[in-house]
Amino acid sequence: MVEQNEYAKIIIKGNEYEFPLIVGSEDEISIDFRKFRSTTNNIITYDPGYGNTGSCISNITFIDGEKGILRYRGYPIEQLAENSTFEEVCYLLIYGELPSKSEFQKFKSTLNYHDLIHEDMKKFFEGFPPNAHPMAVLSTMISSLSTYYPYNGDDQLDLQIIRLLAKVNTLAAFAYKKSIGQPYIYPRNDLSYIGDFLHMMFAVPSEPYHVNPVVERVLDKLLILHADHEQNCSASTVRMVGSSQGGIYSAIAAGVSALWGPLHGGANQAVIEMLKMIQKDNNDVDKYVKKAKDKNSSFRLMGFGHRVYKNFDPRATILKKAAEEVLNELGIQDPLLDIAQKLENVALSDEYFIDRKLYPNVDFYSGIIYRALGIPENMFTVMFSIGRLPGWIAQWKESRMDPDFKIHRPRQIYNGPNIRNYIPVSDRI
């Protein structure tokens, strides 16, 4: 961050105020409003949805929505997706640099060491109804980690982080096993992070399970693409909850809940549901494009549009190619891929979508890949959570280490009734 000797001038009711500009390392300019309210005698800014508000200064992820750029700690997403692994990206996001060989070895073996969950935690899974959504189960189980591994202050930060990364895989796979009535499969330390997850999801005690390297590699890529996305709804939730200085587990559990909604991570499940609906309706893509444009309908094309990307989502570009490749390699023909491609073509040539800069986002093709890997629909957003976990941890940690750390407490413009006197219920009509 560079603070320039340049100022923004604001005139309010005839009074002129000056506020310094802050320029980020990619030349993004912002106005420093930290002293705005105190300088202007209690005037505040109004920005519902925070589309114009920088809530922090961050070194983690850079996005240029106009140019379709996404970088973690300076590394382009395309290079990481092609050459790195999810475990390495976890390290990069959380500790700020790519690990040396020995650091990486140590990181991986520590993750392995902590991947078992307390045996008593299995009893929780027994208590959930069989059709419980795995996102609800995941959020609850992450929250319950604070009862088994209490937060003992920031000196235990690294241990808490490792525990989270290591155990969330196990918790997610156990949630799935519970939902289909199969026995839990314990983690295996000879497998990679992703390989172990696949084994816990798909192995059964009665036969050997071999991790398919094609499946392992594409899942690795998917999780890398989901690993962070700066101040999105769930990351901001993690920062917000963390700002009261509660433990990391409660903040991450809140992040999982925020991600679940269909306007955020829940969109990957919603995309597949939409594609199936179109398939059932004689593959009538045009009908659904028309419906999405109809102002009297609340229907939206799921997997289209993004608050930040206004030209293309670089993750969607990588995933479109990956979806075609993985279906080819696994010899799967999915009619939903054809519908998705047709929908994309129709929408991208339609004025409504062009004018509003609505393009496929990361969720548009991820569901097709998850289906090909045999991951059930209600686990899609759980997969997103596993991918986003290092990002949430990095955001939480950065916020906690911030010298300007403050509890998050926005203001409001009150527009309700003015003062009025209470009338006892016996005197009311």
- Say how many CA atoms lie within 13 Å of 17 toward its Cβ: 18
Length reported for the chain: 429
Rounded to whole angstroms, the Cα distance separating 328 from 318 reads 16
Catalytic residue among 115, 229, 306, 313: 306
Minimal distance, residue 139 CB to ligand ACO, in Å: 17
Place of tokens 């969720």: 363
The one-letter amino acid at 358? L
Query: For ligand ACO, what does the binding mask look like between residues 362 and 381, x meaning CB under 6 A?
Result: xx------------------
Burial of 181 (0-12, 13-18, 19+ CB in 10 A): exposed
Instruction: Answer yes or no whether residue 292 interacts with ligand ACO by CB under 6 A.
Output: yes
Q: Note whether 340 binds ligand ACO by CB under 6 A.
A: no
Q: Which helix (H) or strand (E) holds 151?
A: none
Question: For residue 16, what are the β-bridge partners?
Answer: 11
Residue from 94, 165, 302, 379 in contact with ligand ACO (CB under 6 A): 302
Span of 65-73, 117-125, 236-244, 295-303 interacting with ligand ACO by CB under 6 A? 295-303
Residue 358 interacting with ligand ACO (CB under 6 A):
yes
HSE (CB half, 13 Å, CA atoms) of 167?
A: 25
- Nearest distance, CB of residue 158 and ligand ACO, angstroms: 28
**Known catalytic residue: 363?**
yes
Catalytic position from the list 115, 196, 220, 363: 363
210 is known as an active-site residue:
no
Which residues, including other chains, have CB under 8 Å from residue 70's CB and lie 6 or more apart? 61, 62, 63, 76, 77, 229, 314, 315
Residue 389 makes contact with ligand ACO by CB under 6 A:
no
Please report whether residue 188 would count as binding ligand ACO according to CB under 6 A. no
Q: What is the DSSP string of 24-41?
A: -TT--EEE--TTHHHHTT
Q: Total residues contacting ligand ACO (rule CB under 6 A)? A: 18
Binding of ligand ACO by 305 (CB under 6 A): yes
10 Å CB burial of residue 278 (0-12, 13-18, 19+) is buried
Which residue's CB atom is positioned nearest to ligand ACO?
305
Q: Do 115 and 182 touch, CB atoms closer than 8 A?
A: no
Q: Is 356 in the site for ligand ACO (CB under 6 A)?
A: yes
Residue 211 or residue 322: which is nearer to ligand ACO going by CB? 322
248 vs 270 by CB, closer to ligand ACO: 270
CB of 74 to ligand ACO, least distance (A): 22
Closest CA to 313 of 61, 65, 60, 26: 65
Q: Which is nearer to ligand ACO, 225 or 326 (CB)?
A: 225
Contacting residue, 176, 193, 260, 304, with ligand ACO by CB under 6 A? 304
Interface stretch with ligand ACO, choices 156-164, 217-225, 302-310, 421-429 (CB under 6 A): 302-310
Q: Is the dihedral of CA 123, 126, 128, 131 positive or negative?
A: positive
CB of 100 to ligand ACO, least distance (A): 32
Quote the longest CA-to-CA distance of the chain.
79
Binding site residues, ligand ACO, CB under 6 A: 263-265, 267, 292, 300-307, 356, 358, 361-363
Which positions are catalytic? 306, 363
